[in-house]
Amino acid sequence: METAEELKERLTTMQYRVTQESGTEPPFTGKYDKHFEEGNYNCIVCGTLLFKSEHKYECGCGWPGFWDKDGDIKEISDTSHGMTRTEVQCNNCNAHLGHVFNDGPEPTGIRYCINSASLDFKEK
């Protein structure tokens, strides 16, 4: 594992804030919000596969939306900011990714709302 100092060197300020401090990038600003190439979305911190492009959809909320996961993702109850939400993290390195909601499309009915800053896209 890299130290916090090493991660700060390698990641952008936004990538560090999101993954290590559970931050949220401003909506409609992330580089994968309107990104629909074919490939894999890996964890920006550890490189673990998290999502595939076939499960990405245009959710219109300002962050990349996925209706299913393809990797090892941990779900944690998050009661910060006066809301009860489910936070999702990379199960390998505990990087914060975003949240999961129950308003996604069929067949899962769920929406992973993920920060672009926590993802590293690899073209197929």
Among positions 8, 62, 85, 93, the unique one binding Zn ion when judged by CB under 5 A: 93
Residues 24-43 that bind Zn ion (CB under 5 A): 43
Q: Rounded to whole angstroms, how far apart are CA atoms 65 and 58? A: 7
Instruction: Give the residue carrying structure tokens 């219109």.
Output: 60
Among positions 7, 73, 90, 119, the unique one binding Zn ion when judged by CB under 5 A: 90
Minimum CB distance to Zn ion, residue 33 (Å): 21
Minimum CB distance to Zn ion, residue 92 (Å): 5
Q: Cα 47–89–15 angle (5° rounding)?
A: 60
Minimum CB distance to Zn ion, residue 66 (Å): 16
Q: Rounded to whole angstroms, how far apart are CA atoms 24 and 43? A: 16
Residues with a catalytic annotation lie at 113
Q: Which residues bind Zn ion (CB under 5 A)?
A: 43, 45-46, 48, 90, 92-93, 95
